[in-house]
Amino acid sequence: MELSKSELLRAYRLMKTIREFESRISREFEAGTVPGFTHLYLGQEAVATGICMHLTDEDYISSTHRGHGHCIAKGCDVRKMALELWCKRDGLCRGKGGSMHIADISKGMLGANAIVGAGAPLALGAALTAKTLGKPNVSVTFGGDGATNQGTVFESMNFAVVLKLPVIFAVENNGYGEHTGIAYHLGAKDIASRAAAFGMPAVMVDGTDFFAVYDAMGEATARARSGAGPSTIECVAPRWRGHFEGDAQAYRDLTEIKELRERKDCLKLFRERVREDKKLEAHEMDRVDLDVLALIDEAVEAAKVAPHPTPEDLLTDVYVSY
């Protein structure tokens, strides 16, 4: 699938924004400035970007506990994201959601989710809305390899096939379900073949290759928009960080991570590819790098000093009517 120069620059900017946002959060977490619990998306940037480049604000995604990358790729404001991670009053969720529940319905982002596998049924609902109202929109549910062992995901795959819903199951196979490797937790040989057994097209792609993800999503989206039903894309993109920040990762050989950073860095691979294909120049991407760093620095510094929610905020927003 051919991408214009501006689309390539947009893809690069999104991936770079995710990379730098997460790297900054990692450092801030270590310094103790970020409250609570956080799970980072480093190493998987090409997945959210390759998937969400096909979506508009009227298409929906349901996300996971590792949701910052999905937010950025879906177009959420990085400044408001930072405010939310610092649980501040002007954050995307007014400081009441935090990292694990960050959401922006106006951008079609139905929320990060702290329950593994819970996003899949929600994406069915967004697809049902599109189908019922006769709109051409699709919904995507992101979920890790670990989530694919949940009954909710099995139910959702069958349900989507039976009702021919415009859903794409974007499986992020990052190698681990929390502290347990996929070699142990997956009974089948891979996730794509298991999804295919439910009666839908399912492919496995290299999730560090933006172009592979983008092309697979192009096919899945076209199928969904045409009314032909769901697809699964298993994106293999090992995570660079632990399950959560602060995870000592005693279960992992640390040379594995070093090697991933050297050989499977989606940004490095993207830069090499577009330069080889003579689509983008290094200086054009370097300029994006500077912009992104400045934006994130501004967002994080503003978030740190922004006001907290007020005591009155404790009791609001439970119900619409009171």
Stretch that binds another protein, among 47-55, 154-162, 179-187, 260-268 (CB under 8 A): 154-162
What is the rounded distance in angstroms from the CA atom of residue 305 to the CA atom of residue 302?
6
Instruction: Give yes or no for residue 94 binding another protein (CB under 8 A).
Output: yes
State the nearest-atom distance from the C-beta of 137 to another protein, in Å. 9
Instruction: Give yes or no for residue 133 binding another protein (CB under 8 A).
Output: yes
Instruction: Give yes or no for residue 122 binding another protein (CB under 8 A).
Output: yes
State the nearest-atom distance from the C-beta of 14 to another protein, in Å. 23
Among 29, 86, 159, 169, the residue binding another protein under the rule CB under 8 A is 159
Instruction: Give yes or no for residue 85 binding another protein (CB under 8 A).
Output: no
State the nearest-atom distance from the C-beta of 279 to another protein, in Å. 36
Stretch that binds another protein, among 1-9, 40-48, 66-74, 149-157 (CB under 8 A): 149-157
What is the rounded distance in angstroms from the CA atom of residue 307 to the CA atom of residue 77?
18
Q: Check: CB of residue 128 under 8 Å from CB of residue 165.
A: yes
Instruction: Give yes or no for residue 317 binding another protein (CB under 8 A).
Output: yes
CB count within 10 Å of CB 302 equals 15
Q: Give whole-number Cα distances, 293 to 21, 82, 114, 286, 290, in Å.
A: 8, 14, 28, 11, 5
Q: Check: CB of residue 139 under 8 Å from CB of residue 126.
A: yes
Q: Check: CB of residue 96 under 8 Å from CB of residue 131.
A: no
Q: Cα torsion for 213, 219, 225, 228, to the nearest 10°?
A: -130
Q: What one-character-per-residue DSSP string does 136-186 give?
A: ---EEEEEETTGGGSHHHHHHHHHHHHTT--EEEEEEE-SEETTEEHHHH-
Q: How far apart are the first and last CA of the chain?
A: 50
In sequence order, what are the beta bridge partners of 42?
none
State the nearest-atom distance from the C-beta of 55 to another protein, in Å. 14
Instruction: Give yes or no for residue 96 binding another protein (CB under 8 A).
Output: yes
Among 34, 46, 85, 92, the residue binding another protein under the rule CB under 8 A is 92
Among 34, 51, 123, 204, the residue binding another protein under the rule CB under 8 A is 123
Stretch that binds another protein, among 39-47, 120-128, 241-249, 280-288 (CB under 8 A): 120-128
Contact footprint for another protein (CB under 8 A) = 60, 62, 91-97, 101, 103-106, 110-111, 113-115, 118, 120-133, 139, 151-152, 155-156, 158-159, 162-163, 316-322
